[in-house]
Each structure stands twice: as structure tokens, then as C-alpha cells.
Structure 1
Amino acid sequence: MKHNEIITAKQIILKLPNILFKLPRIIKGLKVADARNKKKPVGLGLCVEKSAKKNPQGFAIRYQERNITYQVFNEWSNKIARTLLSHDLQKGDCVAIMVENRPELLATVAACAKIGVISAMINTSQKGKILVHSLTIVKPKLIVVGEECYEAYEAIRDHIDIPCTHHFYLADTDTLTKIGHAPMHWKNLALIIQSQSGKRLPQVNHIYCDDPCFYVYTSGTTGLPKAVIFNHGRFMKAYGTFGHATVGLTVKDSMYVPLPFYHSTAMAICWGSILAGNATLIMARKFSVSRFWQDIRYYEATAFGYIGELCRYLIEQVPTQDDADHQIKIMLGNGLRPSIWKAFKQRFDVDRVCEFYASSEGNIGFSNVFNFDNTVGFAPYKYALIEYDKEREQPIKNAAGFLTTVAKGQSGLLLGEISDKSPFHGYTDSKKTQLTVLRNVFKTGDAWFNTGDLMRDMGFKHAQFVDRIGDTFRWKGENVSTTEIEMLIDDIEEVSESVVYGVEIPNTDGRAGMAQIRLTCDIADFNFSTFYRNLKNTVPQYAIPIFISLSKGIDITGTFKHKKSALKEIGFNIEKSDNPIYVLLPNTETYQPLCSKLQHHIHQGKYRY
């Protein structure tokens, strides 16, 4: 770590005038975020209603050519909520939602939130076995599917236990003005809600901090996706900590969000910040590097949401004279790498980087309140960075049997103390919840949440993200579970065994997937094109391995775990590998042998990953 990245007392003092100016807002935000009062009505539904009351004619959402006011959005969500109630849904029931980024998605989520129904935010890139699993573990009583996800759901519909009467369809259009047509055996949600009232629902006053708001899915450290319980109290933490204390948008602001709303970054952090300021959400269907700045200028956005990969794509574009021709003053997100941080701010003339750290399931978060460079910011709750043995993949204990924190400037495993102030609500599976809890960490009887992330201590309760550990790696802004991909690869007929891990490609964020595979046939008889098609039918594009190493045997430990450390070290270096390596180049449909020339071109960035 560079010496000038350590935060000093002098730097804090220099920030004091700005901090004092923001202090009332920060105090308000922390007060709003404090959800320890179990009897106080809170939640996403009340936040939407508050914005509708304070800024009724202001735009809640701008999407393509659609401009939806807070008043219209609020009444729309009330109509959907009443429709759900008319189908016997009650507080605590689950509705699965498979809709890509468009206003219908948020209207449905807001409707569920107002009546205490839990929205299961299905990753719209899922299909096959993974989709079946994601739906099954949350036991939905009703499902809302957009036309864009219809085929993926229909392919697995027979494996899902949802009554035919509880299948709702949304045409891929402006359903407020064009109802569209629903397929056979589906109900048209846009048509049904027309007979419902848009008036306020009394249930919204009976939602409390511990009530689940939505399920978001994470790969965690092992296995298939886990459904993380994101309750209304956690939404209020995002609403208060980020919306009020950190970002501070107003009715004059609008935030451009091209991130998927099935992730908590967009759903809780970005949308929560927008609602806190009664500002406007500019919703993009998907991220497009060519349209990004065009959209920013067209909508006159003053802020945008990001993940690190997005920023790298933008800065890799050829510089133009109008790079700074926009009204952006704030960017909110996570994963902006130190290597491009200052260059990005300078080239695109962005004043504030509201970088944060949080996990969908975790109880600890950091926010860059003070606008320092190269940091995820400050954490208001108690955490610890402990010494960690990367080779053995376990925390290091001292002579007394407890764990030890790292020194300033060093990296360690991030733990969040589990307490009344920062509880850990975990997963829908209680056994998996307990696996992420460390006990007797610094004293007998204490409990801490293991984030699975390595962080560097920058001083003054600030940290810098370093890497993920264990059996999960991050690629294209998504967490990829190696166990999940191994299971799907092993299902392919010619594969006897596989081990999946993440490897670094120069000038990219995160780690690309690589799989070492033992075949049941000769290499000459193995069809790489068929192998790729099999993966494409079952695995999201971001999780398909970029590199394949064919091996006659895979090393395991005495406890039958794959030895991944050495494989990660070798990566796709053909000079260090004893096995033939194959690569999936961008925009291709099969793997080809990796040679020194191709390897050199990948290292030089000739191929864009």
C-alpha cells in the first residue's frame, strides 16, 4: 500500500469545514438509519409515499421516453398491491419477480413492500436448474414475469409449485398506456389493476424494521445461489446512511442507474438515495458503454450509479472533447479500482466519488462520506480486520486461541460485530447462516459475521477493498460461485470432474473464470463447441469459464477439497502449466488452444474482456 494512501489526522482536519457543513444532514441520516425501534413503522413503502407527498409532480422515474411522476407511481403501486391482496396474499408471503429494468419492476416491488409481501428479486439471466433452485428456496405463492423473461420461465414452469391462477404477465411495453396481451394460462397484471383503487393502503403503517422487504440472491462462498433476507430496517439504513448522510440528492437532482435492480446496489443503495432526496431515477434497461454519456446528457443527470467494471469500460474508450460535457457531480457505487480512480475523476470531471462497501447479506458497511480517494470509506459500526492465512484459507489464532487484528496499512479478513445495532439476518437457510458466523473471536461469547472479503486498514476507520477469498470470485460485477459452476460442468457427459477458480486478466476488474477439467474421453473426441453450448444453456454468460485446462487428474486435500491455490498461481500461463489450456475469445462460440501468441495478445489487452 502506498504511504500517501494512509489517512492522517491532518487530512481529517482539512475535511472538517465540509464535514461541519454536512453535519445536520449526517446526523439526520444516521438517525433515520437507526432501526432499533421494533414498534416504529418504517420501510420502502413509507419512503415511496413520503416522496409522493413532498414531490408529487416531480418525476419518480424516467425510462426511455416515459416520465412517471411520484403521484402516478405511488397510485400505480397501490393498485398492484390491492391486486395481490385480492389473490389471498398476506404479510410474510413471497412474490417472485422476473422483470428486467423498467418501471414495472419497481412498481411491483413497491406494491409488495406496502403490504409486507416479500419480493424475490430473480436474476433475469438465470435459467434451467439455477432458476428452478432460486425459485424453489423462497417458496413463492405468486409470480410476476415480464415478456422478456417468459421463455426462460416457461422452460422450467413444470418444476415450480405455483398455482396457474397466480401467474401474472407484464408485456414488454408501457403498461400504463398499452396493456398488451398475456399468453394462455397467464393473467395480465396491467389489465387486472385497472379495476383497483390507487388510494393509500392501511397496511403500510404496519411494516416494521424486522419485516423482510425482499430477497436478493448471492453465491456466498459455496453452492447454489442463496436467498438473502433484506428487511425493511436494512433498507432504512441504506436510505439514511447513503441517501441522507452521504449522497444528499435533492428534488433538482436525477441519478442515472444502468445497473440491474435485482442487485441490492441498484435496488437499495441507488434507489434509497434517490427516494431520500425525492429526486429522479433515470432507469436504463442495461448498461451500454456507447450510450452511457449520451444518456447522461440527454436526461441532464447529476449523478450516476456504478460498479467498478462499468467505470473501466468507460475510461477505456477513446478520449473525446466532450468527456466533461455533462452535469454529473456525484457517482455512487462500489468497485472503483485505485488504478483508475484519480484518472476517472480528472478525465470526466467528477467531484465526488461516493464509493461504498456492503454485501447483500452482511451487517457491516462502509461509505465514503469524507470523499477521500481510493477508499470504500468510513464504517459507523464496529468491525475488525483480522490476520488471515491465504494458503490455509483460515484466520490466524494467537496463543490464547483468539484472533488478532492487522496493523494500519495491512490487509486482513473483514468481520462485522453482530449486535443489536448491527444484527445479522442471514439467509433463508439457517444452517448456511450459521456457517458465516464466527464465535469467540476476541473474547468468549462474542459473535462476528465473516464477510469473506480482504480489506486494507487505511486508518481512522477507513478501509480499502483488496479481494474476495474462498470459493467465490467476482467478474463483470457479479459474484460467481465456483461450486455452482463445477456442478453444472460435471453434469456434462464427457466430464468426469472439474475445479473452477478465478484468474486475473491484466487491465480487467475482478477475476475471470477458469476450469480445470478431467475428461472421460480423449481430447481428440471432445467437442468444445458442444461443451460451450451446454454451458450457455445453463450458466449466465458472466459465469462461463474463459479458460479451460484439460488434466488427467485433479489434486485434492486430505479432506477431499480441491487444491486451488496452486491453480490460481499458474492461471492461464502456458509456460507454467503441464496441461493444455484452451481459451474462449470474446464474441466466439467455442474454445481454441491457447498459444504463446494468443496469451501475449490477451496480456496486452488486444481482446476485450
Structure 2
Amino acid sequence: MTEFARVIRDLVSVLPAVLYRPPKDNEKKSLGRLFQETAARYADKSAIVFEGRELSWGEFNILVNRLAHALKGQGVQRGDCVGLLMENRIEMLACFFALAKLGAATGLINTSLQSKSLVHCINITNATKCIVGQELIGSIADVKDELPLSDNDFIWVKDEALTSSVAEVGPDSLAPSWALDVMATLDTMPSDNLPETLDIRAGEKACYILTSGTTGLPKAALILHRRYLAASEPYARIGFRAKQTDRIYLCLPLYHFTGLGPGVGTSLYSGASIFLRRRFSASNFWSEVREHQTTLFVYVGELCRYLAMQKESPDEKNNPIQTMVGNGLRPDVWDVFRQRFKIPRITEFYGSSEGNAFFINLLNKDKTIGTTSADILLVKYDFDADEMVRDAKGKLAEVNDGEPGVLLMKIDDRFKFDGYNDKKASNSKVLSDVRKKGDRWFNTGDVIKKIDVGFALGLAHYQFVDRLGDTFRWRSENVSTNEVGEILNANSQIEIANVYGVEVPGVEGRAGMAAITLRHGVEFDSDEFSNYVMTEMPAYARPVFIRIQPAAETTVTFKLFKASLRKQSYNLSEVEDVIYVLKPKSSRYEVLDNEFYQSIINGQHGY
């Protein structure tokens, strides 16, 4: 087949989804209704496989209905928000769908958060109740008294894996006295669909995605039913081209939109079943793909790099995966999946939980985030001054084709910006009067560039380049340098911390590095500092490198100067200051010596 014929075939196959328009806010379309309709259509077909359990769509719908009736009996009602802290498992999705059927929003909480960050995430969504899995009950127990919730507002969901491992029923297998065991009441609950589900409108709240914001201060990105439906259908039809006979390998955390949208959303639109995993395992991946005949795979780039580093396995040969959809796939790893793993279709996409539009590689081109139907601008950025470039008239200057620029996406009636639960945070992401007076643009904070992918019917294609300095990506999480800096500045040893991201060979994204200036007369105490960082930050937010700097450098406008620090990075031949490193699986910062530095450069570091 010629390139022209292949592109025409691809375009024709996705045309219905390309022409798709999101539902209007007052339409009676919702996540719960979509789940219910899919369950009715494929009632006897497999819906989900997890740790030796398998439910048909009909069985899954009954479980969801009983949970919804139980939650309704506990006072959960339309318009409420309920926090959900649970690992990937059947019950996690069942709670999510049950709340959607009731018209209540789910506050999806990152399972790695604890203490202050966990309290913040529950409070920021104004959650009236909190559902917590048995496997994470300790995290809630530690902060229960700091939350504006009573004992009747905590709902406990047992974990079959933990319960079955307890020889006899004891305290560890039972709900604590301050939480309701919702699963214990399910057999007495009605199994029929709830009448309110059919009345929920597209403009109502479906969930909050708590952006992976580093230090326990995430922002709550609002996802309306309209937004979820508008994003998920293209992933299903354009990205995966999913059918009811497909099975999706899903191992990404469901509190992030990549797993929840392309993964779960595709299943809802197509009837494809899900093979669900609590967490990713590179060593088990190909054997499970073959055992469960998973034809579709939802990825992030970091997972793909781990798979590319594995030794060749007999199971990877002639594997059943036909299409993979995700983001962050590096060009060199892309080649491995094409050539070694022989994946026919790779649909990279670009978007964010709070963003108003997305890009998708609908024509199966190599090494591109694809194209978009949104109106966009790529503007020049001065990395040294850390600001966008303006022309002589004061307008933002656009880049030339092929040059990297900061991506702005126009906010209009089709590509609405729902923003965060925090109005101030939402406003900070919007630029006005960019092209003409009164226009509004979403500032992604990401740098992309236009690339030539060959014949593409005139559709412009783009490639992701990097995040701007104030935010970087590490271990599949977004890390805010400002928020990390605020936490470090609260340490008794530190006068000021300047945080930035640096490259680590063979690793996706950037590792955190902080140039810190100590208080007058203070000698750096690594043990105290290490304990502080381990306590105050989740693992992905902790700086990997610490540079002890005599004095902080600032620009003429007193902004912390980062350009030279980023450039010097942790290069021992360029930096005279002492640098500390947090080695993999370590909980203590130690001086970076030449031996470990060389192991980093050679890609033998273990990060």
C-alpha cells in the first residue's frame, strides 16, 4: 500500500470521530449513563480482569449499582464531591462509576500522598466524604483528626488481596471503628439502575484530577462530564480504533487522566475489556500480554523505557498488541517498539488534565504528538530571562516553522477551559488580548515544534520538546519548582532554595536539583536535611541533587537565576560547589563523587 493510500484509509476510518462535537452542557449525557448503556449492550461479555477475578459488564454494573445505593444511603447526593484513595483495583473503578451514577464528583487522590499533602487534596475539593481502601487506611488514620470530616464520613473498602492473606479475622482485616465498611452491606442493596443517572447533564462535575504537584500542594483540575466524554471518544475511535473484542492492558494509576481517559474511557465507548494491574511490572509485562491476549496498551514514556531495557523475552515475539496510546514516548524508544516489539500502531497524544484541547497522532506517523483542530500559537521564549518574547509593539512573538515555542491554545466555545477548583490558579494559566482584544488563550507551559512527517493531507504535525523551567516531569509526575522551593525554604538550615530540573541519561523527563544557600553560620547537616525531605515530600518531588551555593544569583528583577545552573547541572568538572546526591533506594543525601557521577553519565545509575 502506498503512503498516499494508507493516509487516505486512516483518515476515512477516523472521520466520524474527527467530526465529533462534545455534548452541550445541558444535554443529558454523562459518564454514569455511558457506563450503564455499555453494560447493557455487552452484558454477558468480559468487562474487567484483575488478580484472578473477572466480571462481565452485567456483573460489573450490578456491583456499581449496589455501591451507588449504599453510598446514597450514607447521604451522598448529586453535586457532592467524595474523595477516593484506593489503589488500582475493581472496587476503585466501581466506586468511581457509582459516584458518577449518583451525580457526585470523585476527588481522585494520588495514592503516594501522605500527611499535609493528603489533607490538602481532600480539602481542596470540598469533599463531604472520603472513600479509602484497606491497603491505604494508614495514610488516612494519620491525618483523620486534621480533616473537617466526622467518623461517619469515612468509608472503608476491603482489599481482597489483603483480606485473603490474613489467616484469621482480626483487626487488620476489619474496618476501623471510625469508618463504615461499605462492602459488608452490598448484598442487601438493590441491584437496579438508579433513576437520577439519566437526568445528569454534561455540564455537571464528573471528577477532580489532582495535578501531580510535587509537594503536597496540587491543584484540583475540574473534569466535567462533557470534558470526559469529549476526550475519551477520540481516544477510543481515533487512537485505539477499539472494538468490543479488544482487551486493554492498563497498569497506569487511575488517579491520573492518562489511565482514566484513554484507558477506561476507551473501554466505555467500545465495550473492550480491561486487564487491570495495581502497578506496572516490566518483568511480567509480556507474559501477561500473551496470557490475557491484550491487544491494546495505554502507556507513558517511562514505562516504555523500562520495557526497552529488559532482556529479550520469548513472549515479546509475535505479541498480540496492535495499538498503543499514550504520551512521552522518546524517539529512541519509539524505534524499539516499532522494530523490536513490532507494534503496528503507536498513537502518541499530548494534553493535560486542565488543558482545553489536545493533539493526537491519528495518522500513525513516527515520533510526533500528531495534530489538533484547536487554534494554537507557538511563541518565542527567552530561556535566560525566563519569559516570553514580545515584538516592538508589545505583542507575543511567534516562532518560525521548525523552531520550538511555548504552546498557547485558544479558548473558545468548542475548546472551553474549565480550569481548577481554585479561581486564582485558573486565571494564572490564561493569557488575554494575545491576537486581538478580548481573546483568551490557555498557556500550557510546554514547548513544542512543528515537524515534517511527509504526506499528511496538509495537517500540521508537532513534536514535544520540553517543559518550561518552573515545571518539569519526573517519574511520570509533574513537579513544580516553586512548590518544592517553598518546602525547602521552610527547613531551618536554608536561607533560600533555587529549584530546577536537570537531565539524567536514559531517564524520561528531568530530575530535581536545588541550589541552596545556607543560613549565616550554618554548616550543612545532611542527616537533618535528609529526614526533613523524606518526611515533607513524596518520593517523586524530592530533589535528586543538592548544590550548596555560597549566595543565590538573581536577575535584575530579583527573580532567581536558573539558566546557568541548569546548564552546569551536576557536572563535577564545571561546578566548584559541593553537590549532594540522593541515590536510588536511599533515604540520605551524600556527597556526589566522581565514581557515581560517571555511573550517571554512563547510564548505570539505577534511577
The bucket for the TM-score relative to the shorter chain is: over 0.9
How far apart are 1:239 and its partner, in Å? 2.2
Q: Conserved in 1, the CA contact under 8 Å of 2:99 and 2:105?
A: yes
Aligned residue number for residue 455 of structure 2: none
How far apart are 1:219 and its partner, in Å? 5.0
Q: Conserved in 1, the CA contact under 8 Å of 2:117 and 2:216?
A: no
Q: Conserved in 2, the CA contact under 8 Å of 1:98 and 1:121?
A: yes
Secondary structure of the corresponding residue to residue 340 of structure 2: helix
How far apart are 1:521 and its partner, in Å? 7.6
Query: How far apart are the structure 1 equivalents of 2:161 and 2:530?
Result: 36
Aligned residue number for residue 65 of structure 1: 52
Aligned residue number for residue 248 of structure 1: 241
Aligned residue number for residue 493 of structure 1: 492
Q: Conserved in 2, the CA contact under 8 Å of 1:97 and 1:145?
A: yes
How far apart are 1:514 and its partner, in Å? 0.9
Q: Conserved in 2, the CA contact under 8 Å of 1:136 and 1:160?
A: yes
86-95 vs 302-311, which moves further:
86-95
After TM superposition, the structure 1 = structure 2 runs for residues 336-415 of structure 1, keeping only pairs within 5 Å, are: 336-415=329-408
Q: Conserved in 1, the CA contact under 8 Å of 2:214 and 2:540?
A: no
Aligned residue number for residue 595 of structure 1: 593
Aligned residue number for residue 213 of structure 1: 206
How far apart are 1:371 and its partner, in Å? 0.2
How far apart are 1:520 and its partner, in Å? 3.7
Aligned residue number for residue 438 of structure 1: 431
State the Cα deviation string for residues 239-287 of structure 1 (Å, max 9, x = none): 2111123311112110111110000000112111122110011111011
Q: Conserved in 2, the CA contact under 8 Å of 1:474 and 1:511?
A: yes
Query: How far apart are the structure 2 equivalents of 1:503 and 1:528?
Result: 21
State the Cα deviation string for residues 388-411 of structure 1 (Å, max 9, x = none): 222222222223332343222221
Query: How far apart are the structure 1 equivalents of 2:215 and 2:593?
Result: 32
Secondary structure of the corresponding residue to residue 356 of structure 1: strand
Query: How far apart are the structure 1 equivalents of 2:163 and 2:92?
Result: 13
Counterpart selection for 1:22 from 13, 29, 40: 13
The residue identity in structure 2 corresponding to 1:604 is N
Distance change (3 Å), C-alpha of 1:531 and 1:589: same
Q: Give the TM-score taking structure 2 as reference length.
A: 0.93
Counterpart selection for 1:142 from 125, 129, 141: 129
How far apart are 1:434 and its partner, in Å? 0.8
1:155 lines up with 2:153 in the alignment: no
How far apart are 1:421 and its partner, in Å? 0.4
Unaligned runs of 5+ in 2: 453-458
How far apart are 1:221 and its partner, in Å? 11
Counterpart selection for 1:283 from 257, 269, 276: 276
Aligned residue number for residue 468 of structure 2: 469
How far apart are 1:50 and its partner, in Å? 1.9
Q: Conserved in 2, the CA contact under 8 Å of 1:220 and 1:472?
A: no
Distance change (3 Å), C-alpha of 1:601 and 1:174: closer
Aligned residue number for residue 481 of structure 2: 482
State the Cα deviation string for residues 531-569 of structure 1 (Å, max 9, x = none): 323322221112211111112222233444321222111
Aligned residue number for residue 13 of structure 1: 4
Secondary structure of the corresponding residue to residue 302 of structure 2: helix
Query: How far apart are the structure 2 equivalents of 1:219 and 1:435?
Result: 17
Counterpart selection for 1:292 from 285, 288, 291: 285
The residue identity in structure 1 corresponding to 2:105 is I
How far apart are 1:30 and its partner, in Å? 4.1
State the Cα deviation string for residues 462-481 of structure 1 (Å, max 9, x = none): 21100011411101111011
Query: How far apart are the structure 1 equivalents of 2:161 and 2:332?
Result: 41
Q: State the identity %.
A: 34
Aligned residue number for residue 95 of structure 1: 82
RMSD: 2.3
After TM superposition, the structure 1 = structure 2 runs for residues 182-331 of structure 1, keeping only pairs within 5 Å, are: 182-218=175-211, 224-331=217-324
371-380 vs 11-20, which moves further:
11-20
412-421 vs 556-565, which moves further:
556-565
The residue identity in structure 1 corresponding to 2:596 is L
Aligned residue number for residue 3 of structure 1: none
Aligned residue number for residue 107 of structure 1: 94
Aligned residue number for residue 502 of structure 1: 501
How far apart are 1:177 and its partner, in Å? 11
Query: How far apart are the structure 2 equivalents of 1:578 and 1:486?
Result: 22
Distance change (3 Å), C-alpha of 1:563 and 1:464: same
Query: How far apart are the structure 1 equivalents of 2:318 and 2:527?
Result: 45
Aligned residue number for residue 448 of structure 1: 441
Distance change (3 Å), C-alpha of 1:147 and 1:582: same
1:131 lines up with 2:118 in the alignment: yes
94-103 vs 581-590, which moves further:
581-590
The residue identity in structure 2 corresponding to 1:436 is K
Distance change (3 Å), C-alpha of 1:518 and 1:74: same
Q: Conserved in 1, the CA contact under 8 Å of 2:496 and 2:516?
A: yes
Q: Conserved in 2, the CA contact under 8 Å of 1:378 and 1:461?
A: yes
The residue identity in structure 1 corresponding to 2:358 is G
297-306 vs 391-400, which moves further:
391-400
Query: How far apart are the structure 1 equivalents of 2:496 and 2:11?
Result: 59
Query: How far apart are the structure 2 equivalents of 1:308 and 1:496?
Result: 36
Q: Give the TM-score taking structure 1 as reference length.
A: 0.93
1:84 lines up with 2:83 in the alignment: no
193-202 vs 226-235, which moves further:
193-202
The residue identity in structure 2 corresponding to 1:504 is E
State the Cα deviation string for residues 209-244 of structure 1 (Å, max 9, x = none): 221111011257999210000111111112211112
Secondary structure of the corresponding residue to residue 331 of structure 1: strand
Q: Conserved in 1, the CA contact under 8 Å of 2:108 and 2:208?
A: yes
Aligned residue number for residue 74 of structure 1: 61
Query: How far apart are the structure 1 equivalents of 2:214 and 2:132?
Result: 29
How far apart are 1:51 and its partner, in Å? 1.5
Q: Conserved in 1, the CA contact under 8 Å of 2:250 and 2:276?
A: yes
After TM superposition, the structure 1 = structure 2 runs for residues 512-527 of structure 1, keeping only pairs within 5 Å, are: 512-520=511-519, 526-527=524-525
489-498 vs 344-353, which moves further:
489-498
The residue identity in structure 1 corresponding to 2:365 is F
Query: How far apart are the structure 1 equivalents of 2:289 and 2:437?
Result: 53
Aligned residue number for residue 533 of structure 1: 531
Aligned residue number for residue 607 of structure 1: 605
The residue identity in structure 2 corresponding to 1:97 is L
After TM superposition, the structure 1 = structure 2 runs for residues 572-587 of structure 1, keeping only pairs within 5 Å, are: 572-587=570-585
Secondary structure of the corresponding residue to residue 348 of structure 1: coil
Q: Conserved in 2, the CA contact under 8 Å of 1:145 and 1:168?
A: yes
Secondary structure of the corresponding residue to residue 160 of structure 2: coil
How far apart are 1:386 and its partner, in Å? 1.9
Q: Conserved in 1, the CA contact under 8 Å of 2:24 and 2:203?
A: no
Query: How far apart are the structure 2 equivalents of 1:440 and 1:20?
Result: 35
Aligned residue number for residue 456 of structure 2: none
The residue identity in structure 2 corresponding to 1:216 is I
Query: How far apart are the structure 1 equivalents of 2:498 and 2:319?
Result: 46
Aligned residue number for residue 7 of structure 1: none
Aligned residue number for residue 5 of structure 1: none
Unaligned runs of 5+ in 1: 1-9
Aligned residue number for residue 159 of structure 2: 172
The residue identity in structure 2 corresponding to 1:505 is V
Counterpart selection for 1:543 from 541, 544, 547: 541
Secondary structure of the corresponding residue to residue 95 of structure 1: strand
78-87 vs 248-257, which moves further:
78-87
Query: How far apart are the structure 1 equivalents of 2:486 and 2:182?
Result: 37
Q: Conserved in 1, the CA contact under 8 Å of 2:324 and 2:347?
A: yes
How far apart are 1:412 and its partner, in Å? 1.0
Query: How far apart are the structure 1 equivalents of 2:481 and 2:266?
Result: 33
Query: How far apart are the structure 2 equivalents of 1:220 and 1:464?
Result: 24
How far apart are 1:496 and its partner, in Å? 2.9
Query: How far apart are the structure 2 equivalents of 1:599 and 1:72?
Result: 54
Q: Conserved in 1, the CA contact under 8 Å of 2:46 and 2:57?
A: yes
Query: How far apart are the structure 1 equivalents of 2:55 and 2:164?
Result: 12
Distance change (3 Å), C-alpha of 1:14 and 1:403: farther
